[in-house]
Amino acid sequence: MFNPEDHPEVLVGLGVLDDAAVYKLDDEQALIVTTDFFTPVVDDPYDYGMIAAANALSDIYAMGGRPLLALNIAAFPADLPPSILADVMRGAAEKVREAGAIIAGGHTIQDKEPKVGLAVVGIGHPDELLIKGGAQPGDVLMLTKPLGTGCITTAAKSDRADDSDIAEAIGWMKQLNRAAAEAARAAGARAATDITGFGLLGHATEMAETAGVTLVLRLSRIPFIGNVHQYASEWIFPGGSAANKRAYEGGVRFEAGIAEEDQMLLFDAQTSGGLLVAIPPEGVPTFLREMKARDARAWEVGTVQPYDGAHIVVTRV
């Protein structure tokens, strides 16, 4: 095991819960390094490639950085038609290009089930990083994408989701978190994380634990995709959502009267979700203005409070 004290240039590493590793080059620059990949969540290979790339790039944005280059990581069945592989890689490449980065290589193996993602290197200022432990009492919590992708993509696999809901979910999953990261830095944000496999409550718990605070989330303010509440009422969730509930429910206090399906939606395992950003109150107008200037959305979903015995408190309104 590497001892963090022996490597002071590693600002974020194994000893800290966060979205990416950070290596300080000098007083002005730090490398931000991450990797992510997963099996298909949609049928269209081009969309799959774009979503996988957006998801991997998101960790760079969650740290307040800018992606520089990426390496493809892929596993495909030997009998998969080359045209499908080409569409997946084309989707990933176009999303990386949109991020202002480049794909500089990669590695592919054969496997029974497709898996696609990226290893990404980004850059940021050592003093302007968005870290999970940076949230402070009084901060305002902003969320930059609605929830429900896990529930909807699971419903789609059994042909139980409306086409409009699937299309909306795909649109959000393909969206980069670039605007959110830029707006957060402009607003003087202290902390952020991206909402992915551990769901909103899992990733929010990591922020709260690392900072030693309580995050108060207001259910009535949290955005959701399309008709996701209908699928939730039918208990259509991926297996990861139940695993999230088991792992994190001990640190969550729900106000009385919140339906069980609504609680599960907050544990729902997301793919390429938005950023949850903790912003000083005086920075909120700047954040909203910067998001609007980039044609991006954001919702005020809660506040950061001193720790009161639960890392997460969910109220109805």
pLDDT, one tens digit per residue, over 144-162 is 999 999 999 999 999 999 9
pLDDT at 215: 98
> How are strands ordered across the β-sheet holding 252-254?
191-194, 275-279, 140-143, 299-306, 213-218, 312-315, 252-254
Per the structure block, which two tokens stand in for 115?
């898996």
pLDDT at 40: 97
pLDDT at 224: 98
What single letter denotes the amino acid at residue 223?
P
Confidence of residue 5 (pLDDT cuts 50, 70, 90): confident
- d(Cα 2, Cα 12) in Å, to the nearest integer? 13
| Ordered domains of the chain (ranges, CATH) | 4-124 (3.30.1330.10), 132-315 (3.90.650.10)
Check pLDDT > 90 for residue 134: yes
Using DSSP bridges, classify how beta strands 252-254 and 191-194 pair: parallel, antiparallel or unpaired.
Answer: unpaired
| Three-state SS sequence of the chain | CCCHHHCCCEEECCCCCCCCEEEECCCCCEEEEEEEEECCCCCCHHHHHHHHHHHHHHHHHHCCCEEEEEEEEEEECCCCCHHHHHHHHHHHHHHHHHCCCEEEEEEEEECCCCEEEEEEEEEECCCCCCCHHHCCCCCEEEECCCECHHHHHHHHHCCCCCHHHHHHHHHHHHCCCHHHHHHHHHCCCCEEEECCCCHHHHHHHHHHHHHCEEEEEEHHHCCECCCHHHHHHCCCCCHHHHHHHHHHHHHEEECCCCCHHHHHHHHCCCCCCCEEEEECHHHHHHHHHHHHHCCCCCEEEEEEEECCCCCEEEECC
Check pLDDT > 90 for residue 65: yes
pTM of the predicted model as reported, rounded to 2 decimal places: 0.97
Query: What's the CA angle centered on 165, arms 162 and 169, to 5 degrees?
Result: 140
For the chain, give the percent of residues with pLDDT over 90.
Answer: 96
pLDDT, one tens digit per residue, over 31-55 is 999 999 999 999 999 999 999 999 9
Query: What's the CA angle centered on 201, arms 315 and 19, to 5 degrees?
Result: 140
Q: 8-22, 23-37, 80-94, 270-284: which has the minimum mean pLDDT?
A: 8-22
- Average pLDDT, stretch 112-118? 97
- Average pLDDT, stretch 48-68? 98
Confidence of residue 1 (pLDDT cuts 50, 70, 90): low
Q: Is the dihedral of CA 167, 168, 169, 174 positive or negative?
A: positive
Per the structure block, which two tokens stand in for 147?
């929830």
How many CB atoms are located within 10 Å of the residue 205 CB?
24
Check pLDDT > 80 for residue 233: yes
- Average pLDDT, stretch 232-251? 97
For the chain, give the percent of residues with pLDDT over 70.
Answer: 100
Check pLDDT > 90 for residue 111: yes
| Three-state SS sequence of 42-87 | CCCHHHHHHHHHHHHHHHHHHCCCEEEEEEEEEEECCCCCHHHHHH
